[in-house]
Amino acid sequence: MTKTAIVTGASSGLGFAIAKAYLARGYNVVGNARTMDRLQTAAAQLGNPANFLPVAGDIAAPETAKALFEQAAARFGKVDILVNNAGIFIAKPAVDYTEDDTDAIVATNLKGFLFPAQEAIRHMEANGGGHIVNITASLGVTPAKATALLPVLIKGGLNMATRALALELAGKNIKVNAVAPGIISTPLHGTDTATQEFLKGLVPTHRLGTAQDIADAVLYLTDSTFISGHILTVDDGGSAGNW
């Protein structure tokens, strides 16, 4: 039976690359983003495949998570994989974070993990198992000298939650892992030479990762039947220690 993956934040960046990678394998993909316009644009870029189901909605809302699994099950039968990719990154000095910043990052990064994970557990337990992969951040593994307190707080917490959930679900054939990206080249970072050189300076090897690097890591984890509770850093050694 063809496998089905749900990918949140699927309309651009890492989520788009992950959705594309699963589609290339012939999987069914249910993609989520805040608006249908963004998902339709992404679907067009993917070639409007029949096995891509767009489901729009705010991932911080429990009803969106419920709709993802309900529509996935109605269209494809069952869900094998959940990739909690949707997230935002707000970098500024600790004293400059506002209540709005806090609310935004908690909504997308924390609630956007919890509610889909809850639906995945219910669905996968009833269907014999599955995989949950959380996209976190290598800064949540090894903090660096950076102005990113809130992302470190939430992403670091998600790394530990990944391990805790893996143990909780160990007897239910549900594998829970995380991919923790380092500095990845995306349009959001800017393409000018100065910015690129600054970002490369944050990586020991002075090179940036790609969205495909993250997609490959996700595929590796969901291919495995004997990995759970693992935080896979994809940062070219950035979180290995002092350098």
Query: What pLDDT is attached to residue 56?
Result: 98
Query: What pLDDT is attached to residue 188?
Result: 66
Query: What pLDDT is attached to residue 2?
Result: 97
Q: Which domains are delineated in the chain? A: 4-234 (3.40.50.720)
- Full-model pTM: 0.96
Query: What pLDDT is attached to residue 35?
Result: 98
Q: Which ranges of the chain have pLDDT less than 50?
A: none
Query: What pLDDT is attached to residue 202?
Result: 86
Tokens for 232, please give them: 């896979």
Query: What pLDDT is attached to residue 191?
Result: 76
- Nearest alpha carbon to residue 144 among 210, 235, 209, 230: 235
Kindly calculate the radius of gyration of the chain based on its CA atoms and give it in whole angstroms. 17
105-121 per-position pLDDT tens digit: 999 999 999 999 999 99
